[in-house]
């Protein structure tokens, strides 16, 4: 047994058990203070030292150029970091060369190395937080949690499920079939999980590690070699993961090219060339539906594809206990990182007949007013507003948000003007709220990525449900918030949304939001509707990456 | 807990354990004597009573006609049995209606009902054997074992793995996240395996139950409703399974349309119409590669597809202990059911430099002679020949076999003339052996379904391996027999064949043959090469049929 496996055996077992129980578990605590008093300053220093310098920590081979075009949505300026650029054929050829040894390493050796890499990354969570903030536009605390401990926990989750699946059958055994008269037919059998080959992970600009490491670690634990193709605007956070992986691989006698970083630039994007390469067997993707649909077509060429695309997330409001608590919760959900989370609600269905509450029936107009006020209050709260919103990653998202009034419908709330005193050049934008009629499906049956919220005025909850269900079926959905105090109706709505493979979050108020999916407990994306064909982390996410092959030896 | 679940709980647990250990296990013994002294005559009587009568045991609704065109490959005459013909839209609509209750039944209820159906079928194994013999052309004993106990065991296997997967996560739990100062954020969570919807299984003419029940029971255990579309020439064996399933469903208050039989005729085939129906979500298929490739294209329409298509199975002969034992084993493998098993070897690679044995180097010509003699001896053995060969299911297969000499290459053995004294009209045909050169890849790089064996004369074992590997990669393979007495080389060949997802059977002699795949132990088809995209029974075979959906309720 490898010493790294022994060293991390306890952590592995805890993760396996957590995954099975699905109760609360975090291997990497989300509180920054858990990482010691020196970590924040060290992380900041490391990030600042990296600015305006080439990234030289990778051990991979074959680069022919250096380039980089990251810029901070807070500063509005380039980070000045360049990365090695490697030709596609070299990347794939490197990955193929590294495959034999990694495949033969076996599950325990791979498990030890992969967990060790996360332990090394742990020491750089603050540096990753800075890198994430100044590429994605997330607030510092969200950058820390999402790209550091939460991402590392999702990676740990795939290692744990990978280990479980790869060891679910004995790798060798003797098979004895009674042949009559006390005799036996005897075979020695082996069962080997054979990796599919070379894998790639296509990263997104908003969650460069959280959305990348599950596929990356899932491909690696199952014995594939992997190429990480980050978004050209968000490389540094995942580059740190790759550098630490390569370092641990190298220290343990493996080819650092077992995992490679494949940055590209807006001028010369390599994603299609990499994905279409005949030796590319597995593709993980997070991003727009248009490109995701193209990636899914590559399945017809025998490639294994995992996608997380866009969805249109709904909130169905039927009845509430305390309307203000509900709207305060929703205001936070739609404002957090300016609606740039794939789990953020977009369409809020409210019946024109009003919403029953503990204080009686609240008329539709009042319901909408309370929502409007809570969103505006949060945005304009000097202590909360700028920090909750963060910055807009992509200028196009900002433009769309700023011209949201032209979508159609009635503008209920114009994006409240928010300033971030710390970063005066930040691309910042609070939500716009637009009211549309139920009949105007063409207005709300699509994703408006960013801080745009639609209130859909419906006849009643049955219509709200039908519209939300239909939208999930045809356009996909990752989450659905439901507010309903009638237990039977709540169950009905839940069943109906579940039947189109959308999870329901019921009556969320207080310090829990529909946007958050916890590692080891919540599946992220179900894989059952057009929002994506895969789920973090179900058994398919692991098992599709390798093939069981059983050999029989006559004794 | 349902009483059927309690009743079969012990059987379920034994099956789950067997599947995990993969050691020898049979819930349904393969010895006909295990089923009591009266069973054979009762089975024969039941079959004879069914001849020339409509099949009236189905409880499904909506049939608009009766038809049937089965004929016995032994008698050469029609069985005269007709089946209810139901319009495609009625079948799908029935299946959709049955879905809600079956889905909500939950895993224990479904498990109890499905195992109970197998227990009922057990009482009809002899009847199924007669039905199989006189539709497929298999010998009686193969018909009994393959369509009876072996098929039922493969069904039991999918129930056991289905139960395991559906219960791997708790269906409800309380999640408590520490929120500081001893406080907790508390959610009630549920995890529900939601079935994809309506499933269909497309049967083949040679193994009408063995290849159909794994997909059928896998779809049913995961909560889908299912439509069985048998091959028009082999309906009765699977009709008996469906009738017993419907009976148990009915007795337990479920809609018999939860599983439906959808026979069709050569004049009006309904497979495409059923498969392309927008509500058809899952398709299991066994049959030709051409139709299988079409079925796989339906994945681009969001359908979940499991295929077992054709492969070209190789035998690589490098070195042997006892050549006669090897060739006797191979002769049986290629003759059994006249090469109509998907696992039968077709291409035998032999180096022109000869084959080292315990008795010294055996020249190529002698190796080929021994093979030829063993095949001819078996065919012409009055006690063994006709029984091993069985009959040819499809006249086209017979024609191809009879004109095998025109393929090209050199005919080493013309199909020895075999008579079956019991059935003088039987479509019977022993193997033809043809020698081709390694360079004539166009001759051997395709499947010749039926009793056609190609000997490929190669430069050496490295070339044999390269050709076999290449063929598996491009044309698929389900099995590979290897004869090699050098442990290191045997491991190398195994690794290389495994890398193209082909299992190796090493040095098989005596009473074990490459063709046989045992339930609870051997995976049947790996799913990793063009011979098929699925495997009996790995985790994917279950997990792709449903979606985990997790709901969260704020407390």
Structure tokens at B292: 């299988």
Q: Rounded to an integer, what distance in angstroms lies between the CA atom of residue B378 and that of residue B416?
A: 10
pLDDT at A242: 98
pLDDT at A2: 74
A534 Cβ contact list (under 8 Å, min separation 6): A284, A306, A307, A308, A525, A527, A540, A541
Task: Annotate B442-461 with three-state secondary structure.
Answer: HHHCCCCCCCEEEEEEECCH
Find the radius of gyration of the CA atoms of chain B. 25
Residue A420 to residues A73, A381, A390, A427, Cα–Cα distance (Å): 12, 11, 9, 9
Q: Rounded to an integer, what distance in angstroms lies between the CA atom of residue B265 and that of residue B404?
A: 29
Residue B318 near residue B483, CB atoms below 8 Å: yes
Q: Quote the crossing angle between the two packed helices B88-122 and B9-21, to the nearest 10°.
A: 90
Q: Is the peptide bond before A191 cis (omega within 30 degrees of 0)?
A: no
Contact B552 A506 (CB under 8 A): yes
Contact A554 B522 (CB under 8 A): no
> Measured between beta carbons, which residues in chain A are less than 8 angstroms from residue B22?
169-170, 173, 175, 189, 191
CA angle B174, B175, B179 (to 5 degrees): 135
Q: Rounded to an integer, what distance in angstroms lies between the CA atom of residue A111 and that of residue A302?
A: 28
Q: Rounded to an integer, what distance in angstroms lies between the CA atom of residue A301 and that of residue A307?
A: 16
Structure tokens at B542: 């279950």
Domains and CATH numbers, chain B: 3-309 (3.40.605.10), 314-506 (3.40.309.10)
Closest CA of chain A from B419, distance in Å: 30
Give the residue on B whose Cα is nearest the Cα of A502. Answer: B549
Find the radius of gyration of the CA atoms of chain A. 25
Give which of A449, A285, A548 is closest to B502, Cα–Cα.
A548
* DSSP 8-state code for residue B146: I
Contacts 24+ apart (CB under 8 A), A287-290: A287/A202, A287/A204, A287/A231, A289/A447, A289/A476, A289/A530
Give which of A222, A197, A158 is closest to A282, Cα–Cα.
A197
Average pLDDT per block of 10 residues along chain B, 555 residues long: 90 97 97 97 98 98 98 97 98 98 97 98 98 98 98 98 97 94 94 98 98 98 98 98 98 98 96 98 97 96 96 96 98 97 96 97 98 97 95 95 92 95 95 97 92 97 98 96 98 97 98 95 97 97 98 93
Structure tokens at A28: 């990497």
Residue B450 near residue B432, CB atoms below 8 Å: no
Structure tokens at A4: 């790294």
Residue A146 near residue A517, CB atoms below 8 Å: no
Report helix, strand or coil for B46.
helix
Closest CA of chain A from B547, distance in Å: 6
Report helix, strand or coil for A90.
helix
Length of chain B as a residue count: 555
Residue B44 near residue B131, CB atoms below 8 Å: no
pLDDT at B180: 85
pLDDT at B181: 87
> Measured between beta carbons, which residues in chain B are less than 8 angstroms from residue A168?
20, 539
Report helix, strand or coil for B440.
coil
Give which of B460, B392, B467 is closest to B431, Cα–Cα.
B392
Report helix, strand or coil for A281.
strand
As a whole number of Å, the end-to-end CA separation of chain A is 28
> Measured between beta carbons, which residues in chain B are less than 8 angstroms from residue A178?
24
pLDDT at A1: 53
Residue A469 near residue A496, CB atoms below 8 Å: yes
Strand partners, A184: A178
Closest CA of chain A from B503, distance in Å: 5
Contact B175 A552 (CB under 8 A): no
pTM: 0.97
Q: Rounded to an integer, what distance in angstroms lies between the CA atom of residue A33 and that of residue B189?
A: 29
Structure tokens at B78: 């029609």
Average pLDDT over residues A480-496: 98
Residue A555 to residues A259, A406, B291, B322, B357, Cα–Cα distance (Å): 40, 76, 39, 14, 17
Q: Rounded to an integer, what distance in angstroms lies between the CA atom of residue A229 and that of residue A227?
A: 6
Report helix, strand or coil for B264.
coil
Average pLDDT over residues A30-44: 97
Query: What confidence tier does A180 reach under pLDDT thresholds 50, 70, 90?
Result: confident
Length of chain A as a residue count: 555
Give me the residue label for tokens 């132990």. Answer: B521
Closest CA of chain B from A364, distance in Å: 24
pLDDT at A275: 98
Q: How many CA atoms lie within 13 A of A179 on its CB side?
A: 10
pLDDT at A333: 97
Q: Rounded to an integer, what distance in angstroms lies between the CA atom of residue A504 and that of residue A484?
A: 12
> Measured between beta carbons, which residues in chain A are less than 8 angstroms from residue B174?
23
Beta strands in B61-140 (DSSP E): 65-67, 83-85
CA angle B84, B85, B88 (to 5 degrees): 140
A240 burial type by CB count under 10 A (0-12 exposed, 13-18 middle, 19+ buried):
buried
Give me the residue label for tokens 């001896």. Answer: B377
pLDDT at B555: 80
Contact B543 A547 (CB under 8 A): no
Q: How many CA atoms lie within 13 A of A304 on its CB side?
A: 26
Query: What confidence tier does A30 reach under pLDDT thresholds 50, 70, 90?
Result: very high
Q: How many CB pairs under 8 A join A and B?
A: 173
Q: Rounded to an integer, what distance in angstroms lies between the CA atom of residue A149 and that of residue A64?
A: 34
- Edge-first strand listing for the sheet containing A452-458: A410-413, A432-437, A452-458, A347-351, A314-317, A480-483, A504-506, B546-554, B184-195, B172-178
Residue B145 to residues A177, B30, B38, Cα–Cα distance (Å): 15, 6, 18
pLDDT at A181: 87
Average pLDDT over residues A381-405: 94
Alpha helices in B123-235 (DSSP H): 125-136, 140-145, 151-166, 213-221
Average pLDDT over residues A451-457: 97
Indicate the pairing of strand A65-67 with strand A83-85.
Answer: antiparallel
Query: What confidence tier does A436 reach under pLDDT thresholds 50, 70, 90?
Result: very high
Pick the residue of A16, A31, A315, A503 with the most B CBs within 10 A to test the interface with B by mutation.
Answer: A503
Contact A168 B20 (CB under 8 A): yes
Closest partner CB to A185 (pick from B175, B177, B511): B511
pLDDT, tens only, A250-305 = 999 999 999 999 999 999 999 999 999 999 999 999 999 999 999 999 999 999 99
pLDDT at B53: 98
Q: Rounded to an integer, what distance in angstroms lies between the CA atom of residue B264 and that of residue B270?
A: 6
Helix (H) or strand (E) holding B90, with range, is: helix B88-122
Closest CA of chain A from B531, distance in Å: 13
Sign of CA dihedral A23, A26, A30, A31: positive
Please give the backbone phi and psi of residue B401, each rounded to the nearest 5 degrees, phi first: -65, -40
Q: How many CA atoms lie within 13 A of A155 on its CB side?
A: 30
Report helix, strand or coil for B305.
strand
Residue B132 near residue B205, CB atoms below 8 Å: no
pLDDT, tens only, A520-542 = 999 999 999 999 999 999 999 99
Structure tokens at B373: 């003699």
Closest partner CB to B24 (pick from A176, A192, A544): A176
Task: Annotate A239-257 with three-state secondary structure.
Answer: HHHHHHHHHHHHHCCCCHH
Contact A538 B543 (CB under 8 A): yes
Closest CA of chain A from B502, distance in Å: 7
Residue B466 to residues A100, B83, B501, Cα–Cα distance (Å): 18, 49, 14
> Measured between beta carbons, which residues in chain B are less than 8 angstroms from residue A22?
169-170, 173, 175, 189, 191
Residue B534 near residue B211, CB atoms below 8 Å: no
Report helix, strand or coil for A349.
strand
């Amino acid at each position: 047994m490898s010493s790294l496996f022994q060293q991390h055996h306890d952590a592995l077992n805890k993760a396996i058990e957590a995954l099975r129980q699905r109760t609360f578990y975090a291997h990497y605590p989300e509180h920054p203070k858990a990482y010691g008093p020196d970590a924040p300053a060290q992380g900041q220093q490391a990030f600042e030292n990296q600015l305006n310098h080439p990234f030289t920590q990778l051990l991979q081979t074959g680069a022919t150029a250096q380039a980089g075009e990251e810029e901070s949505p807070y500063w509005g300026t380039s980070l000045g970091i360049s990365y090695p650029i490697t030709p596609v054929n070299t990347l794939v050829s490197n990955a193929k060369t590294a495959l034999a040894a990694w495949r033969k390493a076996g599950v325990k050796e791979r498990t030890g190395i992969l967990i060790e890499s996360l332990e090394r990354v742990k020491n750089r969570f603050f540096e990753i937080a800075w890198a994430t903030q100044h590429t994605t536009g997330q607030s510092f605390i969200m950058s820390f949690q999402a790209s550091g401990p939460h991402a590392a926990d999702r990676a740990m989750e795939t290692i744990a499920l990978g280990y479980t699946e790869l060891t679910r059958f004995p790798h060798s055994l003797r098979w004895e079939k009674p042949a009559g008269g006390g005799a036996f037919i005897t075979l020695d059998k082996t069962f080997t999980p054979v990796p599919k080959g070379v894998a790639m992970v296509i990263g997104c600009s908003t969650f460069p590690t959280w959305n990348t490491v599950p596929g990356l670690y899932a491909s690696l634990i199952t014995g594939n070699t992997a190429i990480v193709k980050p978004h050209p605007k968000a490389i540094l956070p995942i580059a740190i993961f790759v550098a630490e992986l390569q370092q641990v691989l190298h220290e343990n006698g493996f080819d650092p090219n077992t995992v490679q970083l494949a940055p590209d630039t807006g001028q010369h994007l390599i994603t299609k060339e990499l994905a279409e390469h005949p030796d590319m067997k597995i593709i993980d993707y997070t991003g727009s539906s248009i490109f995701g649909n193209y990636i899914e077509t590559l399945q017809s060429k025998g490639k294994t594809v995992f996608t997380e695309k866009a969805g249109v997330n709904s909130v169905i409001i039927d009845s509430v206990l305390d309307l203000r608590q509900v709207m305060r919760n929703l205001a936070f959900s739609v404002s957090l990182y300016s609606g740039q989370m794939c789990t953020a609600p977009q369409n809020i269905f409210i019946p024109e007949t009003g919403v029953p509450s503990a204080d009686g029936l609240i008329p539709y107009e009042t319901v909408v007013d309370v929502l409007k006020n809570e969103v505006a209050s949060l945005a304009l709260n000097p202590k909360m507003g700028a920090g909750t919103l963060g910055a807009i990653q992509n200028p196009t998202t900002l433009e769309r948000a700023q011209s949201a009034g032209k979508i159609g419908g009635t503008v209920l709330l114009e994006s409240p003007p928010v300033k971030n005193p710390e970063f005066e050049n930040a691309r910042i934008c609070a939500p716009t709220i637009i009211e549309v009629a139920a009949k105007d499906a063409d207005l709300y049956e699509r994703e408006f990525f960013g801080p745009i919220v639609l209130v859909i005025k419906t006849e009643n909850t049955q219509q709200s449900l039908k519209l939300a269900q239909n939208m999930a079926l045809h356009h996909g959905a990752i989450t659905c918030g439901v507010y309903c105090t009638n237990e039977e109706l709540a169950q009905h709505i839940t069943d109906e949304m579940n039947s189109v493979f959308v999870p329901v979050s019921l009556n969320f108020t207080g310090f829990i939001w529909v946007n958050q999916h916890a590692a080891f407990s919540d599946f992220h994306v179900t894989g059952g509707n057009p929002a994506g064909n895969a789920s973090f982390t179900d058994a398919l996410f692991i098992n599709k990456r390798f093939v069981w092959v059983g050999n029989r030896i006559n004794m």
